[in-house]
Structures are given as C-alpha cells and as structure tokens.
Amino acid sequence: MFPVAGLGTRFLPATKAVPKELLPVVDRPLIQYAVQEAVEAGVDTLVFVIGPEKRAILKHFERDPGLEELLASAGKDELLARVRDILPDGVSAHATVQEQALGLGHAVLCAREFVPADEHFAVLLPDDMVLNHGPGALAQLVAVHEATGGGVIGMERIDPSLTGSYGIAEVAEDDSGYSRIASLVEKPPPEEAPSNLGVVGRYVLDGRLFDTLETIGKGAGGEIQLTDGIAQFMGEHPVYAQALEGKRYDCGSRMGMLQANIDYALEVDDLRDRLLAHLNSALARQR
Ligand code: UTP
C-alpha cells in the first residue's frame, strides 16, 4: 500500500501541478523506487491511495503503447526497456482515492477493501528512501514478520532533538529475541520522548488494524495518525521494531531530496566520476 495522497506542501511550488511522489531522484520518480523495493520484497499486489488531483501517479505505471512504438522504431532499446519494465509482469496495481488529506491513518483506512482481515500487508511511504547494498528496507521487515508472525515497523536512531518530527518507539526484547514495541507516540517533544528510535515510512501491519483505525480520532496536527492506531492495536497484538540497515533519506524535505539525488547518482556508473569532479570543484569554489 502506497499512501500518496498528501499535499506535499514542503515542495511548493514544485508540487503545485506535479505530485511529490513523481519528483525524480536521478531519473526515476520517488514512487518507482518504492514500488521496486516492494516487488523485490515479494509483493505482487500494489494499492495506491491517491488524492483527487494525483492521477498522474497511476499514469506512470500504465503502459504507453504510443511511446513504446516511438522508441522501438527509433531503435532506442535501452530506453524502451526502462519504460516497459516499470511494472514487472505478474504485479497488479489498484487505486483508491482519499478525498481529503485527513492523515496517514485515514489514508491507510481508505484501502481497507483491498486487504483481507486475516492477512498482513505492507505500507511504504515513498518519500522515505533507504539506500542499502543488501536487502531493501521492506525485505528487512518481511524477514522479521516471518520470524515473529507479528507486525513490524522500520526504525532509525535519530538525533534526540528531532523527536518532534517523528513517531517515537520504546522497545523491549521479548522471547522471540526481536525488539517488541512497548509504546509508540507521535511527534513528542524531546523531553517527553521515550527514546530516540524514530519511525521510518515502512510497515508490515495486521489486517485487523483497520477496526482500530475506524475508532481513533484526530491526533497530533489534527490528523488521523497511523501511529495512534498502531499504538492502540499493539496492546493485544505484538508489533516489532526493526532498525533499518542502510542510509535513509527524507525526500519529503528539500535537504533529504538533494542528498538522495547525490548519493543515488554516485551509484550510477556513467554519472559517478563526473559528479565527483563537479562536487570537488563546487567544494573548491566554496573554500
Ligand atoms: P507527509 O507527512 O510527508 O505529508 O506524509 P505530505 O502532505 O506528503 O507533505 P508535506 O508535509 O505537506 O510537505 C507522509 C506520507 O503520507 C501520505 C503522503 O502522501 C506521504 O506519502 N499521506 C499523508 C496521505 O496519503 N494522506 C494524508 O492525509 C497524509
């Protein structure tokens, strides 16, 4: 499940006509990285929770016969493959609309009809990117889910002064040897934060969570918060914290987006050397 119905105000005016999730890191939009990560973790059914003005996100994953024909007749085979393989064979995509951006918990609830109550499902927020040379972020969560049978949330140790921007967890190891979440609080000020373990936008959740989400009201920022729903639900059903391996980028912020663009470009063979040369000369100019 990809909740992509937010307003993306931090990127205005770029997000006035283009959804935040279609902003690129190097040459692919954020949402494509998230879909690729999900597919690599074994997901074969995608659900996009889009806002009323965000149909372009779906278009990105639809085939475009006209464009494909043009590229084929021009002999641009590599580009053709890049365009055609955006959604791998055997993966289906669905969409539902969140009419108003009432919060992430509400967005997840909008996709309820796609998730059987007795199954677990994954939630990925595309603006959190995790660059790892080993298993992707969601695959790391799936491994913990398979070992414990419980829900799992991706976490990162954050600077303690920044707890007011994150969901924060307190954890304790249980019999399974994994870190079970004992308490979860949305955006606490540093003096009230139970730890500096911050929620990253990757979740494996129990389908029964929807019943809880139906009942919680507005929380921090006047929004229906996913964290509040999970906090209530996990009293009876275990939810584990998985500190993610890899480097995380908050691409919902300008600085995170810039850092991701540099670091992902440094992973691309035909960009790496030229980008390093440019960065070196930029550094020299600043000195
Ligand atoms: P953010 O907190 O980053 O909010 O949402 P935003 O609206 O996207 O961006 P800003 O803060 O205004 O710049 C985190 C994720 O939750 C989704 C967003 O699309 C994003 O993927 N979301 C948030 C929804 O789908 N619906 C909501 O009501 C709120």
- Taking residues 244-259, report their average pLDDT: 97
Beta bridge partners of 154: 242
- How confident is the model at residue 287, as a pLDDT? 87
Q: pLDDT tens, 212-233? A: 999 998 888 899 999 999 999 9
Domain segments of the chain: what residues? 2-281
Distance from Cα 272 to the centre of ligand 1, integer Å: 32
Of 147, 184, 146, 143, the C-alpha closest to 163 is 184
Cβ(49) – ligand 1 distance below 6 Å: yes
Q: pLDDT tens, 112-156? A: 999 988 899 999 999 999 999 999 999 999 999 999 999 999 999
Mutate to test the pocket of ligand 1, among 2, 12, 16, 20 (most ligand atoms within 8 A of CB): 20
Q: pLDDT tens, 57-93? A: 999 999 999 999 999 999 999 999 999 989 988 999 9
For the segment(s) 2-281, the CATH number from 3.90.550.10, 3.90.1710.10, 3.30.930.10, 1.10.3720.10 is: 3.90.550.10
Cβ(20) – ligand 1 distance below 6 Å: yes
Q: State the average pLDDT for the chain.
A: 94
User: Within 13 Å, how many C-alpha atoms sit on residue 106's CB side?
Assistant: 17
Structure tokens belonging to residue 43:
């997901």
Residue 236 predicted with pLDDT over 90:
no
Mutate to test the pocket of ligand 1, among 2, 4, 22, 255 (most ligand atoms within 8 A of CB): 4
- How confident is the model at residue 89, as a pLDDT? 87
The 10 Å Cβ neighbour count of residue 269 is 6
Nearest CA owner, ligand 1 atom 5 = 6
Sheet of strand 45-50: strand arrangement = 2-4, 45-50, 92-97
Cβ(257) – ligand 1 distance below 6 Å: no
Contacts for 264-269 with beta carbons within 8 Å, 24 or more apart?
A: 264/25, 264/26, 264/129, 264/131, 265/26, 267/131, 268/26
Q: Between vectors from CA 53 to CA 2 and to CA 111, what angle results, nearest 5°?
A: 35
pLDDT-above-90 percentage for the chain: 88
Structure tokens belonging to residue 191:
């003096």
Count Cβ neighbours within 10 Å for each residue of 97-114 and write b for 16 or more, e otherwise: ebeebbbbbbbbbbbbee
Q: Is 169 left (phi over 0), alpha (psi -120 to 50) or beta?
A: beta
- How confident is the model at residue 254, as a pLDDT? 96
- Taking residues 201-213, report their average pLDDT: 96
**Which atom of ligand 1 is closest in space to residue 20's alpha carbon?**
8
pLDDT bin (cut points 50, 70, 90) of residue 21 is: very high
Distance from Cα 126 to the centre of ligand 1, integer Å: 10
Q: Are 138 and 88 in contact (CB under 8 A)?
A: no
